Structure 1
Amino acid sequence: METNPVLAYGAWLAEAPDDWPEAAREAAHRQFIDVIGVMIPGAVEPVTRRVFATVKGWGTGPSTAIGFGASLAPPWDALVNGTAAHALDFDDNFDPAKAHATAVLAPAILALAEAEGVSGAACIDAYIAGLQILGRVGQGVNPAHRNRGWHATATVGAIGAAAACARLLQLDAQRAGHAVSMATSMAAGFMSQFGTMAKPLHAGLAAKSGVLAAGLAREGIDAGLDTLDGPTGMNRLMVGPDYKQLRDTLTHVEHGQNLRFETQSIGDPLLILSSGFRVKRFPNCGSAHRAMDGILTLKQSYNFVLDEVNSVDIYAPVSHLNNLMYENPRDALQAKFSLEYGVACALATGNCTLADFTDEAARRPEISALYPRIHRHPVDKAEGEFPTEVHVQLADGRKLEMAVAMPAGSLAAPFTLDQVWAKLDGCAAGLLGAESHDALRVALAKIPQLPNITPLMAPLAGPFPS
């Protein structure tokens, strides 16, 4: 068996049969519904509009820029739509890679599929295969890669997108491996961009990189074989010079993140089924969701009101709280990465919706007035070792406590298909007309049967109202 991960992943992408379990196809289908839903309002966000304004003069093409009434060349289309997919932070998380997987994979696949005229079933196949490689690369560099400040959506995501596009283009083993390798030269993104427009741009850049890497590989451009695991490979450069020590002294492994690139059983287990996704209930950083779920559950169970709350103490893994760096957010982008804002919003309104993430909403004095009551307590344990604990002290002396191991929308508490459709409908409200909305729902329901994806993209073309 091949032990070099570049060669092994290229061979698997070229040779793995398209005979996925029906549950895997259904899971992939749901994620297309979810991400297209969030791409609709994401398309009218300032960051997406500015990305489109940047690339629109660089040439038209066959791929639909969602919401702009325009078509672009596939790399620029993936850049625009990938940014839209992540602009609201309402897209899914994928634990093996610690990345927003679908916001990268789906825009890359759709941009290329529209240009190549391939079927909806081929898109599903490319998504499952690309996700598997995205997860395997993520397991090979995490948890240290993510914990040390790399944004895995941008880094690991670019490689996963290249894998998905290589699969969609049916590249042979050598060229698929070169696509994977080439994407490492485009993999970049720091967590220091969180709370700025550059953060959602990371998803667009990764999607664009996947399209570009696979296209270059198809034309015969080769790439190095040691770019994942070698003297100057991704693991040593983007984990650290202590990579081997970290790998060999791991005592707790979560989500398969063992700092080793799996090359012998690449497709087993199938990560889309064994790990699943964290589909988002709230449009903000998923690291806050366990705490927010806990607050809402306690409110529902004990029926307390805001004036009764003396204090809220949140005990959470330090890795989660590191992602939530804004304790007193000043705008909507910072609010998405604020534990205090998410918890205060849940306390005050009983929910947290897209309407809560405008600059005006983020600056509400009635929300910021709650911040002094909310206290964060970092716990130096991994998320699987320590569930987020929510402690609420009420004025009458009652102390309410709850531990949340996994958020709503995860494999432990998955959304129903009705909830997925409801999320799409909520995201599309006010942006898609009734006729386009109906046509989109019909096409989304039939993705596996579509001979090409034109019926899916046509209702999304726009332009959407500003």
Structure 2
Amino acid sequence: MTDNPLLAYGGWLAETPADWPDPAWAAAHRAFVDIVAVIIPGAVEPVTRLVFATVKDWGAGPAAAIGQGAQLAAPWAALVNGTAAHALDFDDNFDPAKAHATAVLAPAILALAEQEGASGRDCLDAYIAGLQILGRVGQGVNPTHRNRGWHATATVGAIGTAAACARLLRLDARQAAYAVSMATSMAAGFMSQFGTMTKPLHAGLAARSGVLAASLARNGLDAGLATLDGPTGMNRLMVGPDYEQLRDTLTHVEHGQNLRFETAQVGKPLLLLSSGLKLKRFPNCGSAHRAMDGLSDLLAAHGFAANEVEAVHVRAPVTHLNNLMYQVPEDGLQAKFSLEYGLACILKTGNATLADFTDEAARRPDFAPLYPRIHRHPVDKAEGEFPTEVEVVLKDGRRFETAVPWPAGSLARPFTEAQLWAKFDGCTAGLLPPDELAAVRRALADLPQLPGISALTRPLAGKFAS
């Protein structure tokens, strides 16, 4: 036993056997299906193409830069593919860390697995272990870390991804601790980048950092053992100098975010099962999803049209509304962080798809008149304390309302297998030749049994149609 979180995490990563319960293997498998579905269209996004154009001449290697027609060194492949994974904001959320977890974990694991010749089961094992540490670090600095403007996908994500890569490389306890520590020196990213190309780049940078930190540790680089909770550790630098006061005066804890690094029971509960992932129904910021689900439910139940609506009132946690900073979005990226735009999509089309978040779609003239009808009512409570309430007022005086505590795709409202694969089909249509797409689908379905990951990555290595 140790009170030092780095040593506790390193020991757990090195010594925990890969005998996860069947539901954990299944959940990890579903996460890979979902993220590969999202990476494929993300690979042709301008931000991903620009990142690839920047790194493509920096060294060839064994790992596919998905959709780019090139093989790169593992860190650069992780950078490109991580950016693609987050480019559309269609990737999952993970509450303990308040981060997009799979977008950073899976690209790093896949790139390193190609380099190392690891199996599909090895990848799933590294994912489960890395997600646990990602969550434990997130619980140690959140909710304050994220509420104060750090993008946890970039910060906590880099550290959790280093843990996953340490697991895949089978580092010993000290090396794994060094890898996790080293990643704190690569952990950075501000929420002020939301609505720009740098926001998805954060996921790519975190994926790259995980590969780099674990690889350096394997080759003998050491690191400090007080970078999480020392006098100048992550908690005091990236939460704040009032860290201890905040920790000691917490009155409500959500998702295990108690501003303490768990060291006694690192692996219990297994966060993949106790908290689960939030797979996304819509390709925009998850903070809008409860409201969009609620409006969808009211539309389905009552069948009103957009031109009948006098007002839509949304009562939601202030932290959700703060993430949705664009009330009148000017382009597709800003539209992803707009409550008004997301709800306008539901009112006008009954859905919100990838096609709704292009620059052209975001500027549709018939959407803007709806924005003033959508009213925000921030509630100073955490999301677990207060469900998002949606009230629709029609011009004829009728009122309909609902409350949504959990979005579709969450542990409480999981996707069916049919919904998961329907999302895959919707994301990938027209981007790969039919035979290659079929090969990807087969490899994903068989991922736990793949002796090597190339069956999945090979058909993804060509240049996709844009």
TM-score range, shorter chain: over 0.9
Partner of 2:376: 376
Aligned residue for 1:311, secondary structure, equals: strand
Aligned residue for 1:149, secondary structure, equals: coil
Structure 1 residue 294 displacement after superposition: 0.5
**Aligned partner letter, 2:423:** K
| 2:280 is the alignment partner of 1:274 | no
Structure 1 residue 368 displacement after superposition: 1.2
**Aligned partner letter, 1:266:** V
Structure 1 gap segments, 5+ residues each: none
Structure 1 residue 307 displacement after superposition: 1.5
Partner of 1:260: 260
User: What TM-score comes out, normalization by structure 2 length?
Assistant: 1.00
Partner of 2:312: 312
- Map 1:145-294 onto structure 2 (within 5 A): 145-294=145-294
Partner of 1:53: 53
Aligned residue for 2:215, secondary structure, equals: helix
- Map 1:99-110 onto structure 2 (within 5 A): 99-110=99-110
Per-residue deviation, residues 253-276 of structure 1 (Å, max 9, x unmatched): 000000000000000000000000
Aligned residue for 1:246, secondary structure, equals: helix
Aligned residue for 1:75, secondary structure, equals: helix
Q: Percent identity?
A: 76
Per-residue deviation, residues 303-353 of structure 1 (Å, max 9, x unmatched): 111111000011110000110000000000000000000011111110000
Q: What CA distance in whole angstroms lies between the structure 1 residues aligned with 2:93 and 2:442?
A: 26
Partner of 1:441: 441
Partner of 1:296: 296
| 2:15 is the alignment partner of 1:15 | yes
Partner of 1:345: 345
Partner of 1:112: 112
**Aligned partner letter, 1:55:** V
Q: What CA distance in whole angstroms lies between the structure 1 residues aligned with 2:299 and 2:443?
A: 39
Partner of 2:406: 406
Aligned residue for 2:189, secondary structure, equals: coil
Q: What CA distance in whole angstroms lies between the structure 2 residues aligned with 1:38 and 1:368?
A: 28
Q: What CA distance in whole angstroms lies between the structure 2 residues aligned with 1:256 and 1:367?
A: 39
**Aligned partner letter, 2:257:** Q
| 2:420 is the alignment partner of 1:420 | yes
Q: What CA distance in whole angstroms lies between the structure 2 residues aligned with 1:291 and 1:396?
A: 23
| 2:46 is the alignment partner of 1:62 | no
Partner of 1:452: 452
Q: What CA distance in whole angstroms lies between the structure 2 residues aligned with 1:77 and 1:98?
A: 25
Structure 1 residue 236 displacement after superposition: 0.4
Q: What CA distance in whole angstroms lies between the structure 2 residues aligned with 1:238 and 1:39?
A: 30
Structure 2 gap segments, 5+ residues each: none
| 2:348 is the alignment partner of 1:354 | no
Q: What CA distance in whole angstroms lies between the structure 1 residues aligned with 2:337 and 2:173?
A: 40
Structure 1 residue 112 displacement after superposition: 0.2
Aligned residue for 1:9, secondary structure, equals: helix
CA RMSD, Structure 1 to Structure 2 (Å): 0.5
Partner of 1:24: 24
Structure 1 residue 418 displacement after superposition: 1.4
| 2:75 is the alignment partner of 1:75 | yes
**Aligned partner letter, 2:427:** C
Aligned residue for 1:58, secondary structure, equals: coil
Partner of 1:96: 96
Partner of 1:4: 4
Per-residue deviation, residues 186-214 of structure 1 (Å, max 9, x unmatched): 00000000000000000000000000000
**Aligned partner letter, 1:397:** G
Structure 1 residue 433 displacement after superposition: 1.2
Per-residue deviation, residues 397-454 of structure 1 (Å, max 9, x unmatched): 1111111101000011000111111111111101011101111111111111111101
* Runs of at least 4 residues off by over 4 Å: none
User: What TM-score comes out, normalization by structure 1 length?
Assistant: 1.00
Per-residue deviation, residues 265-297 of structure 1 (Å, max 9, x unmatched): 000000000000110000000000000000010
Q: What CA distance in whole angstroms lies between the structure 2 residues aligned with 1:330 and 1:386?
A: 30
**Aligned partner letter, 2:256:** G
Per-residue deviation, residues 341-389 of structure 1 (Å, max 9, x unmatched): 0011111110000000100000001111100101111111000011111
Q: What CA distance in whole angstroms lies between the structure 2 residues aligned with 1:203 and 1:281?
A: 20
Structure 1 residue 396 displacement after superposition: 1.4
Q: What CA distance in whole angstroms lies between the structure 2 residues aligned with 1:34 and 1:462?
A: 20
